[in-house]
């Protein structure tokens, strides 16, 4: 087995570079334990060495702020948190199969984590967004509404 000294993940011998961070893998396990077979250690139990979606290193404990039931909800809420300026990491519990079928039909798809110091703020943003979404008040802006812009360009060509 090979290990990533940066992320703490374990890989088969045939993998020589960490697919997450690009570091060369080592034969000896890292000093700090990485994720377990059942998933990551509970949030806040270890200092994260990962980066946010903006690439900034995270050096403080993480807290779970949302458990997404499906991939769509995960990306919606993650986008809202990122738009609010919060660093977010998505920890997937389920992944797509080889034929690109989402296997998260039941249960939790993923968890969204942010800095423990900003967890209360993030949970408030998530609650406000989900309430607006349920009331039907959430709409994409014109720049984000890809389907509408594609339909408009097709009608202009005719």
Question: Are 108 and 148 in the same domain?
Answer: yes
Question: Are 49 and 30 in the same domain?
Answer: no
Q: What is the mean pLDDT of residues 3-8?
A: 75
| pLDDT for position 80 | 93
Q: Per-residue DSSP letters for 36-55?
A: BTTBSPPTTSS----B-TTS
> pTM for the complete prediction?
0.51
User: Which residue do the tokens 């769509």 mark?
Assistant: 72
Question: Are 29 and 49 in the same domain?
Answer: no
Give pLDDT tens digits for 14-68: 788 877 777 788 887 766 544 443 444 544 444 444 565 566 666 788 899 999 8
| pLDDT for position 55 | 65
Spatial contact of 10 and 27, defined as CB atoms under 8 Å apart: no
Question: Are 22 and 74 in the same domain?
Answer: no
Query: How far from 80 is each of 25, 62, 97, 140, CA to CA, in Å?
Result: 35, 18, 27, 11
Question: Are 61 and 125 in the same domain?
Answer: yes
Question: Are 29 and 60 in the same domain?
Answer: no
Question: Are 62 and 28 in the same domain?
Answer: no
Domain range holding 12? Answer: 1-34
Count of residues for the chain? 158
Per residue, the 3-state secondary structure of the chain, as one string, reads: CEECCCCCCEECCCCCECCCCCCECECCCCCCCCCECCECCCCCCCCCCCECCCCCECCCCEEEEEEECCHHHHHHHHHHHHHCCCCCEEEECCCECCCCCECCCCCCCEEEEEEHHHHHHHHHHHHHHHHHHHCCCCCCCCCCCHHHHHHHHHHHHC
Say how many domains are in the chain.
2
Question: Are 25 and 82 in the same domain?
Answer: no
Question: Are 67 and 15 in the same domain?
Answer: no
> What CA–CA distance (Å, rounded) separates 5 from 18?
9
């Amino acid at each position: 087995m090979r290990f990533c000294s940066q992320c703490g993940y374990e890989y088969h011998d045939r993998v020589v570079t960490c697919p997450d961070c690009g570091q060369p893998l080592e034969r000896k396990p890292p000093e700090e334990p990485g994720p377990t077979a059942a998933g990551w250690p509970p949030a806040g139990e270890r200092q994260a060495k990962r980066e946010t979606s903006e690439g900034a290193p995270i050096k403080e404990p993480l807290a779970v702020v949302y458990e997404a039931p499906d991939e769509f909800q995960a990306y919606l809420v993650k986008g809202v948190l990122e738009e609010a300026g919060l660093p977010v990491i998505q920890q997937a519990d389920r992944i797509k199969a080889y034929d690109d079928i989402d296997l998260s039909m039941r249960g939790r798809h993923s968890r969204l984590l942010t800095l423990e110091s900003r967890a209360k703020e993030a949970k408030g943003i998530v609650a406000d967004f989900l309430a607006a979404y349920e009331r039907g008040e959430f709409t994409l802006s014109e720049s984000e509404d890809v389907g509408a812009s594609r339909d408009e360009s097709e009608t202009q060509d005719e």
